């Protein structure tokens, strides 16, 4: 049987539902875009979106590919680094839920950048 392992960045995507475009306009975010932002901007956006519906999912191109292959029945694994926090736990557990065998190095809290929402 085919087995595939991926090595990549462990990213958590936070999907936020918007009923209208005001949030994008007020925060100078182009509609339909993906923005990489610094920690300060991330904190600002999360505070502004505090009352909006959110869903978090494992992200990163490697994990997305591995997760999709696992759903197709391929035996998969993922190697990456996660923080020693609730997002790191979420990341590992969601991969397991999809049938991926995660091998994650856990960064100590003083080394990890934390994102709270």
Q: Report residue 92 as tokens.
A: 């590992």
Distances (CA, A) of 92 to 67, 86, 109: 12, 10, 17
- Helix (H) / strand (E) containing 92: helix 86-97
Per-residue tens of pLDDT for the chain, all 117 residues: 789 999 999 999 888 889 889 999 999 999 988 888 888 988 899 899 999 999 999 999 999 999 999 999 999 999 999 988 888 999 999 999 999 999 988 887 665 555 555
Check: CB of residue 98 under 8 Å from CB of residue 67. Answer: yes
Q: Kindly list the structural domains of the chain, giving each domain's residue range(s) and its CATH number in brackets, ordered by start.
A: 3-17+53-107 (3.40.1190.30)
Check: CB of residue 63 under 8 Å from CB of residue 6. Answer: yes
Q: pTM of the prediction?
A: 0.76
């Amino acid at each position: 049987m085919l087995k595939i392992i991926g090595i990549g960045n462990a990213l958590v995507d936070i999907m936020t539902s918007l009923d209208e475009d005001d949030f994008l306009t007020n925060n100078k975010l182009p509609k339909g875009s993906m923005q990489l932002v610094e920690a300060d901007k991330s904190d600002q956006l999360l505070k502004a979106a505090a009352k909006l519906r959110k869903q978090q999912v494992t992200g990163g191109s490697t994990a997305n590919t591995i997760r999709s292959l696992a759903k197709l029945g391929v035996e998969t694994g993922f190697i990456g680094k996660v923080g020693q926090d609730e997002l790191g736990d979420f990341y590992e557990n969601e991969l397991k839920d999809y049938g991926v065998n995660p091998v994650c190095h856990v960064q100590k809290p003083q080394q990890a950048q934390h994102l709270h929402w």
